[in-house]
Amino acid sequence: MELLAHKLLTKAGGTHMTGARHNSRLAGIAGTTQPDAGSAGLVAAGVRPSEAGPDEESTRERVLNLIISDGPISAAELAKVMGLTAAGVRRHFTFLEENGQIEVFTDARPAGARGRPSRKYVATSDAHGQISGAYAGIATEVLEFLEQVAGPQAVEDFATARLSAMAARYEPFITASDPAERVEQLAQQLSNDGFAASVRPVEGIPMLQLCQGQCPVQHVATQFPQLCDAESKVFSELLGVHTQRLVTLAGGGHVCTTNVPVHNLEGQLDRPSKRNVEGKK
């Protein structure tokens, strides 16, 4: 049963595991044209069709991918990265907003700040839902059945086993001694698996935020947050420091965000991992 659940969860995120092998950093995404399985299914999901040609559609997909992975982001910021005019980007923003795929996100500004807040955008839950894959429903049903016949602990055991296998794949690629570089390496591996990950500094403190703009199993994790909990533990083990999950897509956030302290990370890199995976301790 756990093997079946694993296969279905892989299917639920399969379009990204194989089709979204891209670096979510702005320059990387902006320089590639890669049709997304989620974007290809937008019409089927009820999104208003566009009268634009193939090039226009391709550009709009890239715009949406950037908003998903790096939002909140403004039209001016995105235009600079993509080499387009701000007016052209705003046209795409208008289309995506009218179709319910993006929405305005207003920056939290300190008291006394001058000027108008920057108008930035994030992807809506509908946009994320269109990307999650057609197998999410049956994967959820399988985990529901597993929980009914074997109890909640079986679901936790499954989540731990699934994320431990992922960590075993990632570990050989997280080799840097510099704390920030290790977080970047983890973000790259997550992006390779379709999570559209990026790393952002936290102003004024030795902290980085690991952000995931996409989650292939978002809708499954909405009902089974054990998947998110297991992922957070794996991040801590791979980085050698206690991380703190702030918000998740499954919990209603526009991006999964994890705080990673970097001031004390380097001194802990030589500690043996507590993770127990097949063939390793």
For the segment 181-210, what is each residue's pLDDT rounded down to a tens digit? 999 999 999 988 888 899 999 988 999 999
152-189 pLDDT tens trace: 999 999 999 999 999 999 999 999 999 999 999 999 99
The residues, any chain, with a CB within 8 Å of residue 93's CB and separated by 6 or more, are 63, 75, 102, 121
Our measurement of the distance from residue 205's CA atom to the centroid of its chain's CA atoms, rounded to an integer in Å, reads 24
Answer with the residue of higher pLDDT: 214 or 49.
Answer: 214
Domain count, the chain: 1
The residues, any chain, with a CB within 8 Å of residue 19's CB and separated by 6 or more, are 34, 35, 36, 37, 194
Answer with the residue of higher pLDDT: 128 or 238.
Answer: 238
pLDDT at 268: 42
C-alpha span between 183 and 167 (Å, rounded): 14
Contact 265, 252 (CB under 8 A): no
Answer with the residue of higher pLDDT: 213 or 111.
Answer: 213
pTM: predicted TM-score of the whole model, two decimal places: 0.58
| Two structure tokens written together for 255 | 């991006």
Note down the domain range covering 59: 1-108+116-281
- Residue 115: pLDDT band (50, 70, 90) is low
